[in-house]
A and B are shown apart, each in its own frame.
Chain A
């Protein structure tokens, strides 16, 4: 079965702009989580959605937001981009919403 699909794979944006990243989970998975990966901070949890509701949120500013649609697809939005937002953004999905999370290959965002 198809894995977790993230689009686009690469993005270059300018400071101050906003960006939307997309994640299509494995079919049947109701939980989608988002993570930011940087060399300095490692993998940091952004937020998790389960059946269209945000269930958990990490310690990121309000510029980072997300949503989940009825088909479990999820989007993540970052507004007013800063240079420090340059990172690999990873999406993971799970059937149980608790364990067995499968990650996508990520979206590499570069802010210039």
Chain B
């Protein structure tokens, strides 16, 4: 019940395209859903986060869509750029600093 399932494992998108990464959870007590971006040799960096009282949140080219009834949320990267090539992690939280992470998606944006 504590798992967060993320798909796909890897994703290749053309420059200018839309990258979509999906996550699903089971624990309805989760109430904070962040997305992190990680480059090689670096720690994860917080991209954007959402709480279950909203269905969508947008920050620049990054949008989270949240479906509470389906217990799913997704990250959309609009106008994907080669500099977006990184590993993306979804996560969920309901207990202070205990983030439960998805397995990660390796995104490659081709020029």
Q: A residues engaging B (CB < 8 A)?
A: 4, 31-33, 35, 42-45, 48, 50, 55-56, 58, 90, 92, 94, 97-106
- Which listed residue, A35, A43, A48, A104, touches B96 by the CB 8 Å rule? A48
- Which listed residue, A44, A94, A103, touches B44 by the CB 8 Å rule? A103
Given A43-B104, A102-B45, 18 other A-B contacts at CB below 8 A?
A: A4-B43, A31-B97, A33-B97, A35-B99, A43-B89, A45-B99, A56-B95, A58-B98, A90-B43, A90-B44, A92-B97, A97-B96, A97-B97, A99-B34, A99-B49, A103-B45, A105-B42, A105-B43
Contact at B98–A56, with CB atoms within 8 Å?
Answer: yes
Contact at B98–A98, with CB atoms within 8 Å?
Answer: no
Between A45, A55, A56, A90, the greatest number of chain B beta carbons within 10 A of the residue's beta carbon is seen for A45
How many Å lie between the Cα of A103 and that of B89 in the bound state? Answer: 13
Tally of B interface residues using CB under 8 Å = 23
- Which listed residue, A32, A97, A101, A102, touches B99 by the CB 8 Å rule? A101
Q: Which residues of B contact A102 (CB under 8 A)?
A: 45-46
- B93 on the A face (CB < 8 A): yes
Minimum Cβ distance to chain A for residue B1 (Å): 14
A-B interface contact total, Cβ < 8 Å:
70
* Chain A binding surface, main DSSP class: strand
Q: Which residues of B contact A97 (CB under 8 A)?
A: 96-97
Report 22 cross-chain contacts, Cβ distance below 8 Å, ordered by A residue. Answer: A4-B43, A31-B96, A31-B97, A35-B101, A42-B103, A42-B104, A43-B104, A44-B101, A50-B96, A50-B97, A56-B97, A90-B44, A92-B43, A92-B99, A94-B97, A97-B96, A98-B93, A99-B34, A99-B49, A102-B46, A103-B43, A106-B43
Q: Which residues of B contact A32 (CB under 8 A)?
A: 97
Contact at B43–A48, with CB atoms within 8 Å?
Answer: no
How many Å lie between the Cα of A103 and that of B92 in the bound state? Answer: 16
- Which listed residue, B36, B41, B103, touches A105 by the CB 8 Å rule? B41
Whether A43 touches B97, Cβ cut-off 8 Å, given contacts A98-B32, A99-B32, A99-B49, is no
